[in-house]
Amino acid sequence: MARRLTTPKWLFGHVLVLAVVVSFTQFGFWQLRRHAERAALNEVTVARASAAPVALDEALAAAEAEVAAGADPSLAVRDRRVRVAGWFEPEDEVLRRPVSRNGMPGYHVVTPLRLEGDPDGRRLWVERGWVPDTFDQVPVAEAAPPEGRVEVVGWLNATTSPPTGWVAAIAPRDPPTGRLTTVAYLDPERLGDQVGGPLVPAVLWLESVAGSPATGGDPAGAADVWPAPPEPHEVTLGPHLGYAIQWFAFVLVTVIGYAALLRRVTREG
């Protein structure tokens, strides 16, 4: 009987089952690592969201220090609450797409803010909120920003740029030249020539203006004040733990099933 289980056909089966068990086990541990990373990110998100807002340059310096220590640049800046003062420049705003809300298509209105007292005349992109896709002309008259000097509180996010490699073939694209009014990416290199000064390498998601909550329109159409404020990042653990359990269950089923098969073959022999 032992000789039968060492024939080329059975040896191939043994190797195949071993490869399946090892692969499924690795997938399970990978999902556990993703679960742990998500939990750690949630802790950072909650801590930053509940912290008092700081000056923009202080937040950027803290993010740069984390990047120098090996952190992901997009995560190092994410969700840091800041307070800045300046003047909105709606003539240079753009619409970021696609942004759906409650199942409705639309855009985020993104307006540059000229920073007060900045020696370089920097501009900071401010995502002021969501508008339906019928508001497709900039500046959006139905969602005009406050005039004059404003004090803005919000949380930072990383700028975005088009992907490279094979993903670029299926990802949305912005025209390579010309002035953009609707964009898929808030790319400082692509949009730098559209504003009156250098861009801050971050985007501010609006929380409040001059101490007033950034209230806005209801996506269901109940209100007529736009834009609807940006929605903060969700603090959830995601499906990774459930996926890990599934992969380990597949390992268990494979081992038990193959052991049962070997036992049956042995008994029949």
Report pLDDT for 216: 53
CA dihedral in degrees (76, 82, 86, 88; nearest 10)?
Answer: 70
Do 226 and 129 contact (CB within 8 A), yes or no? Answer: yes
Cis status, amide bond into 98, omega within 30 of 0: yes
52-66 pLDDT, tens digit per residue, is 999 999 999 999 999
Tokens of 66: 């984390």
Residues with pLDDT less than 50, the chain? 220-223
The tokens for 181 are 């009014």
pLDDT for residue 58: 96
Q: How far from 101 is each of 33, 178, 230, 249, CA to CA, in Å?
A: 31, 29, 10, 36
pLDDT of residue 269: 62
Full-model pTM: 0.79
Q: pLDDT (tens digit, 9 = 90+) per residue, 199-215?
A: 999 999 999 997 555 55
Q: What is the pLDDT of residue 3?
A: 67
At residue 223, the pLDDT reads 47
